[in-house]
């Protein structure tokens, strides 16, 4: 049974890991484009920060700091590919090891936006 898991789950996890990295970069570029568009608009500084804050909040980010001129959000990114890799390597203990990694060792992705 473990050979079957290693033959199918592990390569699938590696493919999903690369796909997830690619989509994460595309999403980050999309967010950056939205922020640039909002910063170039003629809204007041408070409205700009509120729109950016709402956009990140709706996409699952935790708002760390909000001021009238800057904004900071963070998010831990769940990676299915990495979970499958852990499962493929360590079989039944893999999901537990991934949970420990996600909960204690994975650092959140932080995003800072400054108006000035």
Provide the strand spans (E) within 1-116.
62-66, 70-75, 109-114
Q: What residues pair up with 111 in beta bridges, in sequence order?
A: 73
Q: What is the pLDDT of residues 74-113, one digit of tens each?
A: 999 999 999 999 888 887 888 999 999 999 999 999 999 8
Residue 88 CA to residue 112 CA, distance in Å, equals: 36
The CA-atom distances, in angstroms, between 52 and each of 1, 27, 31 are 49, 15, 9
Specify whether the backbone of 113 is left (phi greater than 0), alpha (psi in -120 to 50) or beta: beta
What is the pTM assigned to this prediction? Answer: 0.79
Q: What residues pair up with 113 in beta bridges, in sequence order?
A: 71
- Tell me the average pLDDT of the chain: 90
């Amino acid at each position: 049974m473990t050979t079957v898991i290693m033959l199918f789950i592990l390569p699938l996890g590696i493919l999903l890991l690369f796909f997830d990295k690619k989509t994460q970069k595309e999403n980050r570029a999309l967010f950056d484009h939205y922020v640039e568009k909002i910063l170039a608009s003629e809204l007041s500084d408070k409205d700009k920060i509120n729109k950016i804050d709402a956009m990140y909040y709706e996409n699952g980010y935790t708002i760390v700091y909000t001021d009238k001129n800057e904004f900071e959000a963070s998010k831990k990114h769940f990676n299915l590919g990495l979970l499958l890799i852990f499962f493929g390597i360590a079989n039944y203990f893999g999901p537990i090891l991934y949970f420990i990694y996600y909960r204690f060792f994975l650092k959140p992705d932080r995003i800072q936006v400054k108006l000035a």
